[in-house]
Structure 1
Amino acid sequence: MIFVVLGTHELPFTRLLNEVERLKKEGIIQEDVIVQRGHTRYESDNLFLKQFVSHNEMDLLYEQARLIITHAGTGSIIMGLKKGKCVIACPRLAKYGEHNDDHQLQIVSALAGQGHMLSWQEGNQLEGVIRQTEDFQPKPFHSGREQIYELIENFIEDV
């Protein structure tokens, strides 16, 4: 199963769903596709659409998925990486009215550049990126949270 995550941002991200739908219709994607569509209005006979899901259901869908295709929100990406899933992140772009700015390009550049995930960028074919997942081994992701906690604790102790 492929799990597509659009997150909770209020602007639509139909560009990604149109591409996934095309690949499903053409038989390039043959497995089930479940979509958490958020505020993106979309109708499909080929995709299983859910507007929002509970935290527990989201966790279960991430666990069950062979592949995560997600907008480039940090929470959605990191959840997949922490579960050791192959993640394709697709940045929402301001020029298409998908976000207020293009900060998701920076997120994708950093995490894909470090080998944690793959990305689908404008001008690339999504089916090509999906084919890359067959051989792609994501570099394990380790949060810097513990280091930040230690810095804060040391600062407090020094004050």
Structure 2
Amino acid sequence: MIFVVLGTHELPFTRLLDEIEQLVKEEEITEEVLVQSGHTKYESDRLKLVPFMSFEEMDQTFDEARIVIAHGGTGSIITGVKKGKPVIAVPRLAEHGEHNDDHQLEIVEQFDSAGHIIGTEGPSELKEALKQAETFEAVLFKSGKEKILRMLEDFIDKV
């Protein structure tokens, strides 16, 4: 199963779903596609769409997915990477009315350059990214949380 995660942002991301729908129609994708669609209104006979899921449902679906296709949100990307899934990330872009700015492009570029994900600049690169996902081995993600906390503690101690 391919799990598509659009997150909870209020602007639609139909460009990604249009491309996935086309790949299913062309039989480039032949397995079940489950979409957490959020606020993106979309109708499809080929994709299973669920607007929102509980934490437990999301967690289980990430576990069951063979591949994760995520918008460029850090939560969606990191969850897939931590679960050892090949993650393809497609950023929402301001020019298409999908977000307020292009910070997701920067997030995707950073995770891609670190070797954690297969990053794309847009849905048109999805077909090739799916081929890469078949053999992709991600660089293990290590959170910088502990380092940041130490830096904050050191700063507070000095003040």
TM superposition score category, shorter chain reference: over 0.9
Q: Which residue of 1 aligns with 2:110?
A: 110
Q: Deviations over 1:62-117 (max 9, x none)?
A: 01000000100011101111111110000001111000111111111111011110
> Is the aligned partner of 1:83 residue 2:83?
yes
Q: Which residue of 2 aligns with 1:70?
A: 70
Q: Which residue of 1 aligns with 2:10?
A: 10
Give, as a single letter, the amino acid of the residue that structure 2 aligns with 1:133: A
SS of the residue 2:16 aligns to? helix
Q: Which residue of 1 aligns with 2:44?
A: 44
Distance in 2, matches of 1:86 and 1:57, equals 19
- State the TM-score, normalized to the length of structure 1: 0.96
SS of the residue 2:69 aligns to? strand
Give, as a single letter, the amino acid of the residue that structure 1 aligns with 2:155: F
Which segments of 5 or more consecutive residues in structure 1 lack a partner in the other structure? none
How far residue 56 of structure 1 moved from its aligned partner, in angstroms, is 0.6
Alignment length (residue pairs): 159
Q: Give the stretch that moved more between structures: 148-157 or 67-76.
A: 148-157
How far residue 150 of structure 1 moved from its aligned partner, in angstroms, is 1.4
How far residue 61 of structure 1 moved from its aligned partner, in angstroms, is 0.5
SS of the residue 1:89 aligns to? strand
Give, as a single letter, the amino acid of the residue that structure 2 aligns with 1:63: D
Distance in 2, matches of 1:29 and 1:120, equals 18
Which segments of 5 or more consecutive residues in structure 2 lack a partner in the other structure? none
Distance in 2, matches of 1:23 and 1:37, equals 18
Q: Which residue of 2 aligns with 1:146?
A: 146
Q: Which residue of 2 aligns with 1:59?
A: 59
How far residue 158 of structure 1 moved from its aligned partner, in angstroms, is 3.2
Q: Deviations over 1:19-78 (max 9, x none)?
A: 011111111101100000000000011111000000110000101000000100011101
- Equivalent pair of 2:16/2:123 in contact (CA under 8 Å): no
Distance in 1, matches of 2:101 and 2:23, equals 28
How far residue 124 of structure 1 moved from its aligned partner, in angstroms, is 4.3
Q: What RMSD over aligned residues (CA atoms) do the two structures have, in Å?
A: 1.2
- Equivalent pair of 2:68/2:87 in contact (CA under 8 Å): yes
